[in-house]
């Protein structure tokens, strides 16, 4: 009996060793790495304290402060530093609620880094961040993301005139950049708007693409020009649905879903069928078919009074939904409209996810400056 207990004890100790010892070793090694690379994390903390934003990557620290970052250190613009040691990966997260070090076995007890320089706040932070964006715009002349980040921060602070001016400068440097033309139209004054609006329309006609015409239609919708919005969406016919600009904030199917929803709301079945036709043949990276297409086709056929075709498409919609999930909701309402032969029925597919209807062509600002609005 004692021999059996001894064997069990040894077995349990071995099992504990397999799971516990590696954890102790990794945490010990990760703590040594944290101590070794703490000066780099300190530099990032001080950079953020003085500029109000995090460095885009290691080049920003090298350019601004002359700090050389080893190749095994990755710095991201959202406050994450990754350090790749031998068989051990250590991370440092900058967060308003939980700054600190971590490894594959969880958070480390090594103390978090605090800024050693004065932290800019309020108006001073806004000005410091804008100055840093200007430095990046000059240094990374071929990288448009720093201009869009600056535009986004100016928007957050309610500086519409400066957003317009930044877009105008961007149009001169990057004439093929959609956001510059769209942003100028969005933030133009009443006097500037006719010219900016015509410029956006002309630019879209010179750069025909489904998503470009969606932007134009969205602009018209935002300015309550519904007939012009419908005309813009009609121009998507013959334009493939595809990812075309690197700064798109939605996937192509999301643009198609929104366009179809708008066509439904305006009782435009012919336009809706045209949009579905384009949507059914997506191109490029995001070329997967959507199970929402037969749902919208059903809605269009109901409004056209083609109820037998609507029944068949409705069955197809449920068959497709059985194969893969989709965004469109309220499908039962379509069946009821078919049964009643109600051509006045306006289908509401709902939103794919919370916040979908709050579209912005600009990226999210690195920090909220809305409290500085005048």
DSSP calls for 42-100: HHHHHHHHHHSS--SSHHHHHHHH-----TTEEE-TTSEEEEE-SS-EEEEE--SS--E
Give the pLDDT mean for 71-82.
Answer: 91
Give the pLDDT mean for 352-371.
Answer: 90
- Residue 21 pLDDT > 60: no
Confidence band for 19, pLDDT divided at 50, 70 and 90: very low
Model pLDDT, residue 141: 87
Model pLDDT, residue 289: 83
- The pTM score is 0.86
Confidence band for 168, pLDDT divided at 50, 70 and 90: very high
Residue pLDDT, tens place only, 245-299: 999 999 999 999 999 999 999 999 999 999 999 999 999 888 788 999 999 999 9
- Residue 207 pLDDT > 90: yes
Strand duo 89-93 + 73-75: pairing: unpaired
Give the pLDDT mean for 303-331.
Answer: 95
Strand runs labelled E in the chain: 73-75, 80-84, 89-93, 100-103, 106-107
Confidence band for 10, pLDDT divided at 50, 70 and 90: very low
Say if 2-107 and 252-350 have the same CATH topology.
no
CATH of 2-107, one of 3.30.1490, 3.90.350, 3.30.700, 1.10.287: 3.30.700
- The rounded percent of the chain whose pLDDT value lies above 70 is 94
Which CATH architecture group holds 252-350?
Alpha Horseshoe (1.25)
Model pLDDT, residue 77: 85
Model pLDDT, residue 16: 43
Phi, psi angle pair for 331, to nearest 5° = -70, -30
Average pLDDT, the chain: 91
- Residue 13 pLDDT > 50: no
Domain residue limits, the chain: 2-107, 252-350
d(CA 330, CA 104): 44
Model pLDDT, residue 66: 80
Confidence band for 159, pLDDT divided at 50, 70 and 90: very high
Model pLDDT, residue 237: 96
Strand partners, 73: 83
Cα–Cα distances in Å, from 242 out to 112, 196, 281, 286, 363? 44, 26, 9, 7, 20
Tell which residue, 278, 263, 273, has the closest CA to residue 232.
263
Confidence band for 60, pLDDT divided at 50, 70 and 90: confident
Model pLDDT, residue 22: 63
Confidence band for 18, pLDDT divided at 50, 70 and 90: very low
- Residue 7 pLDDT > 60: no
d(CA 236, CA 114): 52
Cα–Cα distances in Å, from 305 out to 261, 289, 291, 294, 314? 19, 27, 23, 16, 14
Confidence band for 2, pLDDT divided at 50, 70 and 90: low
- Residue 12 pLDDT > 60: no
């Amino acid at each position: 009996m004692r021999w059996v207990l001894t064997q069990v004890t040894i077995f349990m100790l071995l099992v504990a060793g397999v799971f516990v010892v590696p954890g102790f070793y990794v945490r010990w090694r990760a703590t040594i790495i944290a101590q070794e690379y703490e000066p780099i994390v300190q530099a990032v903390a001080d950079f953020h304290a003085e500029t109000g934003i995090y460095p885009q990557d290691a080049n920003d620290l090298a350019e601004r402060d002359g700090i050389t970052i080893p190749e095994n250190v990755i710095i991201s613009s959202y406050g994450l530093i990754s350090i790749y040691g031998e068989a051990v990966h250590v991370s440092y997260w900058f967060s308003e609620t939980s700054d600190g070090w971590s490894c594959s076995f969880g958070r480390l007890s090594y103390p978090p880094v605090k800024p050693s320089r004065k932290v800019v706040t309020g108006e001073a932070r806004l000005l410091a961040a804008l100055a840093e964006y200007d430095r990046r715009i000059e240094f990374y002349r071929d990288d448009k993301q720093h201009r869009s980040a600056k535009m986004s921060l100016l928007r957050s602070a309610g500086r519409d005139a400066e957003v317009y001016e930044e877009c105008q400068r961007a149009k001169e440097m990057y004439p093929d950049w959609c956001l510059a033309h769209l942003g100028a139209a969005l933030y133009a004054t009443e006097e500037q708007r006719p010219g900016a609006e015509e410029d956006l329309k002309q630019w879209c006609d010179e750069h025909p693409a489904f998503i470009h015409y969606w932007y134009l239609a969205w602009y018209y919708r935002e300015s309550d020009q519904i007939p012009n919005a419908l005309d813009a969406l009609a121009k998507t016919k013959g334009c493939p649905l595809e990812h075309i600009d690197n700064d798109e904030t939605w996937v192509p199917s999301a643009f198609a879903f929104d366009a179809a929803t708008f066509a439904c709301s305006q009782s435009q079945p012919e336009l809706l069928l045209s949009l579905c036709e384009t949507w059914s043949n997506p191109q490029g990276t995001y070329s997967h078919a959507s199970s929402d297409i037969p749902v919208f086709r059903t809605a269009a056929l109901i409004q056209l009074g083609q109820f037998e075709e609507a029944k068949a498409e409705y069955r197809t919609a449920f068959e497709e939904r059985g194969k893969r999930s989709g965004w469109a909701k309220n499908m039962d309402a379509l069946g009821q409209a078919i049964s009643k032969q109600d051509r006045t029925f306006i289908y509401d597919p709902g939103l794919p996810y919370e916040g979908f209807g709050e579209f912005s062509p600009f990226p999210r600002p690195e920090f909220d400056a809305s409290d500085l609005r005048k």
